[in-house]
Amino acid sequence: MQSKLLKLNKEKSKGLPARRDFLKKAGLGAVALGLSQFGCRGQRAEGPVITDFEEVQGFEEEPEVHDPSYGWEPVSDRRIRVGVVGIFGATFGFQDHPNVELVGISDLIPERRDRLAEATRCKKTYASLEDMVKDDSIEAIFIGTDAPSHARHTLEVLRHGKHAAVAVPAIFGELEDAGRLVEEVKRSGLKYMMFETSNYRANLFAMHRIYNARGFGKLVYTEGEYYHYFGEPYPSYKDWRVGLPPQWYPTHSNAYYIGATNGHFTEVSCLGLPSIVPHLQAENNIYKNPFGTEIAMFRTGEGGMARMAVSWDTPGFGVETGRCRGQRGSFTETYQGLEKELPGISRPPLPPGVRPGGHGGSHGHLTNEFILSILEDRDPWIDINMSLNMTVPGLIAHKSALKGGEWMKIPRYV
């Protein structure tokens, strides 16, 4: 049980539950999904679905070291009728999922809409999300639109009686949108899931399993990091990424505490340094944001500390990762080999043909979890509360940075 990666306080494994107890608590059965039919017909794509994304940090596909479908068992032959909005929605593999009938796609830009239709093998297209939601045959929609529209589009989807999956972040700059989303999810009774990729990175998923089995005890200190250099503005719809406050896009890093524990932050002090990158200077962006890097120190709901970094203006390696230190054990980015000593921490199997995909092999798992939540009529792992507990602290952190690091309280969503 002892591992160079799980550094327990004692040399032996007294800091973790016994293997049998761990397996019982972790409960890793074969995650089940449906059968081998498809919505939009055509051959499965053998390579990257849209090669352009291979050049964007995070969208490169992780090499498969083993069969990701090993141990998979179907639970239903039902096929959810899904629509996908936004060109990068193709990378999440809805078109390959045996419990999905992909009935339509949409992107506001005609050229990208055509590429999305080709990548997903789907002939039915809609000019906009607003058109798609009017189709009563669609049961669920993936929202991969511009971040400033996420909350508005999610409300539109839910109000038209459809389950909503949305790219990160859940809200963008407007704290009032959090309350609107909570109320609409509650009123509608529909499924809501934010597709936070860090949750299904292998290292975070292992932390989540170990934490739930009480292998760490209380977390004393957690770190999360999202380093993505934007020396020049990255192309985006209506230039929404130009000058983006780093902590308005906080979920890739915050997930390393919130996703691992399903916990929350209570307060934050955040610092930023005025950037030397032109588009990250206050006079050159619509957000009047002066920072390219914001480092937030949070107090967690269990009394510990968490440092969460988001950086756009520091050249060098790009990464989305984290680590944690608990009262009974600790965990770093590296996890290879730990699965053999602690069975039960690996990600669940995927249906045959669904690739793990980008962002550390998380894409297929996110789609899988969303579809399973509908089939099994349960809340998805990254539900509305977890999504807001990841997103809202970043908004408060940016306010703190603008006030020189003033400590500020953070609302909790339960």
Render pLDDT for 98-152 as a digit per residue (tens, 0 to 9).
999 999 999 999 999 999 999 999 999 999 999 999 999 999 999 999 999 999 9
Q: Tell me the per-residue pLDDT of 42-77, one tens digit each, with 9 for 90 and over.
A: 333 333 344 455 556 766 676 666 789 999 999 999
The residue that leads in pLDDT, 230 or 54, is 230
- pLDDT value at residue 9: 32
Among candidates 231, 195, 120, 133, which has minimal Cα distance to 371? Answer: 195
Phi, psi of 185 (to 5 degrees): -65, -45
Phi, psi of 144 (to 5 degrees): -115, 45
Question: What mean pLDDT do residues 215-236 have?
Answer: 96
Q: Tell me the per-residue pLDDT of 343-363, one tens digit each, with 9 for 90 and over.
A: 789 999 999 999 999 999 999
- pLDDT value at residue 57: 74
- Rounded to whole angstroms, the Cα distance separating 161 from 377 reads 15
pLDDT at 227 over 70: yes
Question: What mean pLDDT do residues 179-187 have?
Answer: 98
pLDDT at 161 over 70: yes
| Ranges for all domains in the chain classified under CATH 3.40.50.720 | 51-194
Question: What mean pLDDT do residues 155-169 have?
Answer: 98
CB within 8 Å of 182: residues ≥ 6 apart: 384, 385, 388, 413
Class of domain 51-194: alpha beta
CB within 8 Å of 171: residues ≥ 6 apart: 150, 151, 177, 178, 181, 388, 391, 392, 395
CA atoms within 13 A of residue 235's CA, in its CB half-sphere: 3
What is the pLDDT confidence band of residue 258, given thresholds at 50, 70 and 90?
A: very high
Question: Does the bond joining 380 to the residue before it have cis omega, within 30 degrees of 0?
Answer: no
Question: What mean pLDDT do residues 23-35 have?
Answer: 29
- pLDDT value at residue 195: 98
pLDDT at 18 over 70: no
Is the domain covering 197-347+382-409 a CATH 3.30.360.10 domain?
A: yes
Q: Which residues of 239-252 are buried (b: 16+ CB within 10 A; e: fewer)?
A: ebbbbbbbbbbbbb
What is the pLDDT confidence band of residue 342, given thresholds at 50, 70 and 90?
A: confident
- pLDDT value at residue 335: 64
Distances from the Cα of 44 to the Cα of 40, 350, 372, angstroms:
11, 15, 21
Query: How many residues in total does the chain contain?
Result: 414
Q: Which of 13-17, 51-55, 97-101, 166-170 has the lowest mean pLDDT?
A: 13-17
Q: Which of 73-77, 236-240, 335-339, 402-406 has the lowest mean pLDDT?
A: 335-339
The residue that leads in pLDDT, 100 or 38, is 100
| Ranges for all domains in the chain classified under CATH 3.30.360.10 | 197-347+382-409
